[in-house]
Amino acid sequence: MKYEGKQPVPWTGFLCALGATIIWSGNFIVARGLFDSVQPATLAFLRWGTAFAALLPLAAIPAWRERRVIRRHFIFLLITALLGVTLFNTLIYLAARSTSALNLALISTTSPMFMLLLARMFLGEAVTPARLAGMAAAVCGVALLVTRGELSRLASLQFAAGDLLMLSAAVLFAAYSILVRRKPRELGQASFLLSTFGLGVLCLAPWAAWEVLRSGLPSPEPHIIGAVLYIGLGASLAAFFLWNKAVAAIGPSRAGIIYYSLPAFSGLEAFLLLGEPVGWAHLASGLLILGGILVATRR
């Protein structure tokens, strides 16, 4: 099924993708301090368990009405949950323990490339010169941002085991986005999210239980509780709802291009919330990323 057509692209799709990206950019800042205090699978379990509990009162009745559809597409929902809920963010939390933030930021930008490739292979979406040029500009902007204007730092990068985990997470998120595009039409958004969140949490439970037996429960400190609420209600429930709406409206390739703005928003929020300095490299990278998005997503 080709996405390209004569119908105008709805701006709500772009806004939803942008909203999800902004929320995820804040997630990196909030979750940064939790890597040493909460184990990866335990953090992911708390995150998605919070999202599931918050969504349950709203989606339980629609899911019950659509139970036959859920049962009929159970394998599809299970695979989607494994990729987008159980493995994706857990791999990021694992990767952060054995590689640098610079490597993580660089490797995360490969996800839109995989989205473009998979969308071409499985959805028949066109790979236009404008889309490639915009993607190249966005990649250059991200590289300029994470190296703080010193592109020579790329030559001295040392890759660790976490780099392979981060690359795997980027591929999984791209595959998840393709699956969202193939969501059964008769399955509502609320039922889809509740099913994938619930199945993802169930798959995470044995992994999280093993971590708790080995390292104990995390301390219920206020900053940990606040961070879990943010990544559960914001980066999981709200962001995934917006992202799924965006993919359904504009396709995974265009949504993936907007995903490149994530490092720019992370830098802006770090400046506003943490007081981190902003230099010429940040401004130049922001212009490159924004220009790349505009070029790649225009008709």
Reduce the DSSP state of residue 8 to 3 states and report it: coil
- Output the CA angle 284-285-287, nearest 5 degrees: 65
Question: What does pTM read for this prediction?
Answer: 0.78
Residue 112 maps to a domain = yes
Tell me, what amino acid is at 58? L
Phi, psi angles (nearest 5°) of residue 298: -75, 155
Q: What is the pLDDT of residues 3-42, one digit of tens each?
A: 444 444 578 888 999 899 888 877 766 656 676 788 889 9
| 6 inside domain | no
Number of domains in the chain: 1
Assess if residue 288 is contained within a domain: yes
Decide if 3 is inside a domain.
no
Q: What domain range is 276 assigned to?
A: 11-297
Residue 87 covered by a domain: yes
- State which of 91-100, 111-120, 234-243 shows the largest mean pLDDT: 234-243
Q: What is the pLDDT of residues 197-256, one digit of tens each?
A: 999 999 999 999 999 999 888 888 888 888 889 989 998 999 999 999 998 888 887 887
- Encode 201-222: b = buried (16+ Cβ within 10 Å), e = exposed: bebbeebbeebeeeeeebeeee
Rounded to 5°, the CA angle 49-53-59 comes to 125
Contact 267, 273 (CB under 8 A): no
- Amino acid code (one letter) for 211: E
Does some domain include residue 2? Answer: no
Written as six digits, the tokens of 27 are 């997630």
- Is residue 127 situated within a structural domain? yes
Whether 5 maps to a domain, the answer reads no
